[in-house]
Chains A and B, each alone.
Chain A
């Protein structure tokens, strides 16, 4: 029988082992989830706001859906890519602090025999424990900075540009679809063809006597 206490302990330990040594990873995953929930709420907010005209809603709702989808995707892809690059810069020894650099120099490593190559990883070195604490502190800092820069780039620059394009396209399509639908539903009075009816309506509308 499965014990709830055991499941809870496993959950806590999984959080510790997964995110304890890697805070940037936690920020990315929870960020993705957070953007998703926030977008769902914003779409609802526009839909129930009576003070926003219907025509503007046709722009704002797709804008929000596009914003949410693009936000989640670009946040995940761009932020992950930048964070991974920062991680690789540190783990391959291309970027280091003086203590890590001295450690690498003492072990006889340089650019010709592996440093800066993706195949090389400081964490796989036999004597890694000698530098472990300094390395982890430096790497976590670089990861979190890269994650923050990545999220600013994706959420505040890439997403607004893309979502505006997406929402404007949707608005144009929706307006033209509504116009065509209204035209199809137009019924002329008995004895007049639709073409004549449209013609007469436009004459009457633009008549100087009406003004």
Chain B
């Protein structure tokens, strides 16, 4: 094989990355049940659930799921951390539980409220009657492009989540952090000394 100038030109970092990503993707696909296996989800209820999740699971519900599962794993991981002394471990568990409760409660509530708020300003112009008041205000956040009903729901969720992130810039400091501090102190005071290092 001879190395020409064209070979060198064609050899780029991006093409190398692309090849690597393709190979990694193919490896991942082959790991799922083998190379020549195809999967079909036949159950109607499973397919309905998949469709429902894709349409309705917004960032608020996602935050709730993440918080609930965090309560089931993180405190136990912190409690089994033998790299620190027992008192630090105890405070760490208290803080982790407090942080999960405070973060999930405020995160869920703010996201849900913001998505609801955005919904009030993204009415579809075609659905408003001519007698409706504040038409301009009710449609001020609606997109100008054409969209499908599913895309419109996701658009409202995305806009609501972005608004929630903006709101959380303040509530993280004003609500989340003080609530975490309050709960940490409460759990630390009532948690007891349960083990030795």
Cross-chain pair count, CB within 8 angstroms: 232
Given contacts A85-B28, A119-B22, 11 further A-B contacts (CB under 8 A): A16-B147, A16-B151, A20-B158, A45-B178, A56-B88, A94-B29, A96-B38, A118-B29, A138-B47, A138-B51, A156-B69
Q: Are A89 and B29 in contact (CB under 8 A)?
A: yes
Q: Are B185 and A51 in contact (CB under 8 A)?
A: yes
Determine how close the nearest CB of chain A comes to the CB of B18; give it in whole angstroms.
Answer: 11
* Contact partners of A117 in chain B: CB under 8 A: 26, 29
Which residue on A lies nearest to B159, using beta carbons? Answer: A15
Q: Kindly supply a per-residue 1/0 record for chain A positions 149-178, scoring 1 wherever the CB is within 8 Å of any chain B CB and 0 otherwise.
A: 001100111001100110111010000000
CA A95 to CA B50, docked complex, whole Å: 13
Chain B count of residues within 8 A CB distance of the other chain: 77
Residues of chain A at the chain B interface (Cβ within 8 Å): 9, 12-13, 15-17, 19-23, 26-27, 30-31, 33-34, 37-38, 40-42, 44-46, 48-49, 51-52, 55-56, 59-60, 63, 81, 84-85, 88-89, 92-98, 101, 111, 115-119, 136-145, 147-148, 151-152, 155-157, 160-161, 164-165, 167-169, 171
Q: Are A23 and B157 in contact (CB under 8 A)?
A: yes
Determine how close the nearest CB of chain A comes to the CB of B91; give it in whole angstroms.
Answer: 5
Q: Are B54 and A41 in contact (CB under 8 A)?
A: no
Within the complex, which residue of A42, A84, A94 is in contact with B99, where a contact is CB–CB below 8 Å?
A: A42
Determine how close the nearest CB of chain B comes to the CB of A120; give it in whole angstroms.
Answer: 10
Most buried by B among A23, A48, A84, A145: A23
Determine how close the nearest CB of chain A comes to the CB of B55; give it in whole angstroms.
Answer: 7
Which residue on A lies nearest to B188, using beta carbons? Answer: A51
The 8 residue pairs across chains A and B that have the minimum distance between CB atoms: A141-B54, A41-B172, A140-B54, A45-B177, A20-B151, A141-B50, A168-B83, A19-B158
- B139-195 contacts to A, CB under 8 A, are 141-145, 147-148, 150-152, 154-155, 157-159, 161-162, 165, 168-169, 172-173, 176-178, 180-181, 184-185, 188
CA A147 to CA B59, docked complex, whole Å: 11
Q: Kindly supply a per-residue 1/0 record for chain B positions 64-97, scoring 1 wherever the CB is within 8 Å of any chain A CB and 0 otherwise.
A: 0110011011100110010110011001100110
Known A-B contacts A37-B168, A137-B51; the reply to A15 vs B155 at CB < 8 A is yes
Q: What DSSP secondary structure best describes chain A's contact surface?
A: helix
* Contact partners of A21 in chain B: CB under 8 A: 151, 154
Q: Are B77 and A164 in contact (CB under 8 A)?
A: yes
Known A-B contacts A96-B40, A164-B78; the reply to A137 vs B54 at CB < 8 A is yes
Q: Are A97 and B47 in contact (CB under 8 A)?
A: yes
